[in-house]
Chain A
Amino acid sequence: MSEADKFIIPSGNKPAEAPAEAVAVKEKTATGAKTAEQFIMPPASLDERARARRFSIQDLAEGLRVMLGAAPQKRDKATWTETMRAIQVWKMTPEQRAFRRDLLYTHENTKPTFAWRLWRWPSIIIINLLFVVSFWLDVQLVEGALTASRFVGFHMADVNSSLQVVLAYKELLINLLIGTVTVMLMWWLVGGRSFCAWACPYHLLSELAEMLHLKLAAKGWVEDHPLDRRLRTVLYVVFALLALATGYTVFETISPVGIVSRALIYGGGVALIWVGVLLIIEVVFIRRFWCRYVCPIGLTYGFVGATSPVKIQWDAAKCLHEGNCRSVCLVPHVLEFTIKNRAHDSVLDAGPDCTRCAMCLEACLPGALSFKVKGVGDFL
């Protein structure tokens, strides 16, 4: 039981050890809304509720739809699960409301931790440094750039770069196939767009630009101009068609990921000016312009990791609905269910657009969000 669990289940109440029955009792009697209050019980543990949840094609489809730019669906209360309804009733008890009010107050005065960033930033830096150091010292550990490489001799290829090459060249060499499948499996395992938050060098630069943007925005000097999220999908199709039609990987010319990666390894050039322009746009005009609204690489990895076993899991029982997670998130639409009365189940996973950057975990005081490895935990 974590620190936050102790908070959320008041000591006066029945402990969470026998909650399954409690919910069962609740479910039997829930038909009479008036009588429900008599049976208010603390919700079952997150693990138990998560275990009861089944993989749903509907949720996956919704996740993909939202990733492509659709607005998240608002589901009718009639479609909520019994557990969710029970938790809603429990959360509206006077003790719980008072408890959440106190916690919100604490929340306001608590700065987010950087527990995950301490791992994530070094991850990006080390991955990219491996390429650089390997070439400089000529140790042949990681040869190539982020677009394609050999890791101690094994082929690795960026999935989007391969896709562009295949569309342009209309042929697929076995080496490239092996490299692409290896990388796909790797990122599928960790899920979502982990590539972005844990490996992409431009993501790191963009994060720094975002921090600056938020500082300036707080002073009122700059303002974010959100774009239509469908732009990324449109550009994805456009760049795919361009590669197909021109027989040239047109997108690579402006890909800041390739440009930065190559600049680090082989030395910078004029192409870096474009990266600078992008960062300036992101500081003064549109928060995370490239990553949110343009990057086809991100969307490709979104598809790759859509069915990953690693998820960001949300627990309705702990959520304060104050929205700190969404305000730090690169892709807040994956956390739409944290808005009050939006979740149809008490345990939900962030959609495939999630980069697993864990900034939401850092921002959430009651610990309603956590990493979850599907399958393994259930089998043990």
Chain B
Amino acid sequence: MAFSLGTLLSAKPTSARQQKERRSFLLSVMLGTGTVALALAGYIPIVSGWVKRLRPPGALDEPEFLASCIKCGQCVQVCPVEAIVLADVTDGFGNGVPYINARKQACDFSCDAVQCVLACPTGALTHAIDKKEQVRMGLAVLARPDSCLARQGKGFKGKARGAEFAGLHRYIDVDRWNPIRVADRNYDVELCDLCVRECPIKDAIRLEPMSKDAGDKRRTPVVLEACVGCGMCEMICPAEPAAIVVEERKVWVAAAAGVSG
């Protein structure tokens, strides 16, 4: 192995041993470069922000979050509804980094605190917060106002997301401590208010009349400053696709509140 770059460049290899060492050296350079290239390939989609995802409660700003996450999944383990999942390499936003797919399973703060934040060993989920109200993961936005049932003055009867939906939610009137399947809940409301009804944060969303006419049943969901972006409204919305969705890392602005269309 006593083979140096100097020998490689200076002369043609003479002995069989030198030839072997030269081959081994070149192979090492090739495979080493390949390994680094592969690791960097996994970094490209992250730095160019191909895919944005909802991060768990308390996540630092994306660059700091990505830098500090040690990819251990302790946040995944403490979550009672298993809202947090770890990304795969192909997801393009960090192998082993946690995210939340709110439509599939939102964070509904069933843990009554921010257990994931407490579990995080590196502070990627910042220890600066300890209450669910302090979380700012994103902001609920009425993305498809036309499909909103309340805006059409319609009620809702049945299972919010159908019988097959596997998502969990804690219904305090059913079981204070354990989340149950959303599919196990039968709704019957005259005017659909599921997003408001199931929101785990006080005064984060409310329904407002769409006209001054008292006989007008139509209401529109208005997102307020307290919204933490947990995605519960997105998960429970019976419209397909959801009328209301969470935009990750979006910040509430007074002027933008209310209906976007």
- A19, CB-defined interface residue at 8 Å: no
Q: Bound state CA distance, A286 and B34, in angstroms?
A: 15
Are the C-beta atoms of A173 and B28 separated by less than 8 Å?
no
* Secondary structure dominating the interface of B: helix
- A108, CB-defined interface residue at 8 Å: no
Contacts A155-B121, A175-B122; is A253 near B43 (CB within 8 Å)? Answer: yes
- A313, CB-defined interface residue at 8 Å: no
**Of residues 86 to 109 in B, which have CB atoms within 8 Å of A's CB atoms?**
86, 88-90, 94-96
Binds B, one of A81-89, A160-168, A322-330: A160-168
Distance in Å from the Cβ of B166 to the closest Cβ of chain A? 15
Contacts A71-B1, A143-B77, A266-B76; is A294 near B35 (CB within 8 Å)? Answer: yes
In the complex, chain B residues whose CB is within 8 Å of the CB of A161: 70-72
Contacts A169-B68, A247-B67; is A254 near B39 (CB within 8 Å)? Answer: yes
- B178, CB-defined interface residue at 8 Å: no
- B73, CB-defined interface residue at 8 Å: yes
Are the C-beta atoms of A229 and B1 separated by less than 8 Å?
yes
Are the C-beta atoms of A175 and B121 separated by less than 8 Å?
yes
Q: Bound state CA distance, A39 and B47, in angstroms?
A: 74
Are the C-beta atoms of A248 and B86 separated by less than 8 Å?
no
User: Number of A residues whose C-beta is below 8 Å from B?
Assistant: 60
Distance in Å from the Cβ of B178 to the closest Cβ of chain A? 12
The 0/1 profile, CB within 8 Å of B marked 1, for residues 139-178 of chain A is: 0100111011110000101100110010011110101100
Q: Which residues of A contact B (CB under 8 A)?
A: 69-71, 135, 140, 143-145, 147-150, 155, 157-158, 161-162, 165, 168-171, 173, 175-176, 179, 225-231, 234-235, 238-239, 242, 246-254, 258-259, 262, 265-266, 269-271, 274, 286, 289, 293-294
Q: List 16 A-B contacts (CB under 8 A).
A: A143-B119, A144-B74, A147-B72, A157-B121, A161-B70, A169-B122, A170-B67, A231-B32, A234-B32, A247-B66, A253-B89, A254-B38, A266-B76, A274-B38, A293-B28, A294-B35
Q: Which residues of B contact A (CB under 8 A)?
A: 1-3, 23-25, 27-28, 31-32, 35-36, 38-40, 42-43, 46-47, 63-64, 66-74, 76-78, 85-86, 88-90, 94-96, 119, 121-123, 127
